[in-house]
């Protein structure tokens, strides 16, 4: 257990040995939460969110067809999305 001091504007200093063990360096992300009157701080990661275009969504649908019947249903959906399924590169079941 280590005692730390809360600084101006609520800043805290995490001791170097703890930062080293957790792999925290300048600019690292961390999550802090209050739980039962205690503060929990743990390392965090940020994963970029991929924004799919409508065409990419159509491709994912086509690639995930499980059988011929499902594939035909998805082809119709892709046409309703405004695409020709034959113009989209994908695997056919």
Where along the chain do its domains lie? 8-44, 54-87
Question: What is the model's pLDDT at position 30?
Answer: 95
For 84-88, what is the mean pLDDT? Answer: 97
Question: What is the model's pLDDT at position 5?
Answer: 93
Assign a CATH topology to domain 8-44.
Pemi-like Protein 1; Chain: D (2.10.260)
Q: Which residue has the tokens 């730390």?
A: 4
| Residue 34: its H or E element | strand 29-35
75 confidence band (pLDDT: 50, 70, 90): very high
Question: What is the model's pLDDT at position 2?
Answer: 87
Whole-number average pLDDT of the chain: 94
Please state whether 22 falls in left (phi above 0), alpha (psi between -120 and 50) or beta: alpha
pLDDT of residue 91 exceeding 90:
yes
For 13-35, what is the mean pLDDT? Answer: 94
């Amino acid at each position: 257990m280590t005692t730390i001091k809360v600084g101006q504007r609520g800043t805290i200093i995490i001791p170097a040995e703890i930062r080293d063990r957790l792999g925290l360096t300048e600019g690292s992300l961390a999550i802090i939460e209050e739980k039962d009157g205690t503060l929990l701080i743990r390392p965090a990661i940020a994963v970029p969110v991929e924004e799919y275009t409508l065409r990419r969504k159509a491709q994912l649908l086509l690639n995930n067809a499980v059988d011929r019947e499902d594939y035909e249903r998805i082809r119709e959906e892709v046409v309703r999305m405004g695409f020709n399924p034959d113009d989209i590169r994908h695997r056919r079941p």
